[in-house]
Amino acid sequence: MKEVIHEMISEKQIEEKIEELAKQLNRDYEGKSLHLICILKGGVFFFTELAKKIKVPVTVDFMEASSYGNATVSSGELAIDKDLDEVIIEGKHCLIVEDIIDSGNTLSLVKKMLMARNPASLKCCTLLDKPDRREVEIEVDYKGFIIPDRFVVGYGLDYAEKYRNLSYIGNLEFIEE
């Protein structure tokens, strides 16, 4: 099998969308502090660029949650591999930053865990939203791009830990040789 990637969203489009999302967050959180929670590993590219453009005071933390493993579809089995370093978020305005929301299973679990810790608010920001794959009803407060049901890589998204470093988002296809 040969792996072929077709560009779907360019680096320039991603940069423009991040700027747009940051402006919206700056308006919505004006006068407040914001605690950003990056979902690792895929979210780190988007998270870093978004955080640099947010003008309100921010603190950052990281959580590793997954339902993919080395597959191209969600296994449905959720794993929290790393909890927040600062588990006490009570009274903080928190924003979960995700690379992609697909089935909604991972985000649903993460939101439930974090809501139990009594933040002042808990919202979600994702670079990519794939609503056709949704298995769980989940509210996404800030969306970058809505994409069709295709397996995507690049800009933090991977297939078996490969392709995260692409500067664009591409559709990964497997072609028989």
Closest among 42, 33, 56 to 119, alpha carbons compared = 33
Active site residue 85: no
Q: Which residues pair with 162 in a beta bridge?
A: 159
Peptide bond preceding 130 in cis form (omega within 30 of 0): no
Q: Which residues pair with 59 in a beta bridge?
A: 35
The burial of 127, by beta-carbon neighbours within 10 Å (0-12 exposed, 13-18 middle, 19 or more buried), is given as buried
Q: How far is CA 106 from CA 76, 88, 162, in A?
A: 9, 21, 21
Given 99, 102, 129, 158, which residue is catalytic? 102
Report yes or no: 28 and 93 within 8 Å, Cβ to Cβ: no
Catalytic residue annotation: 102
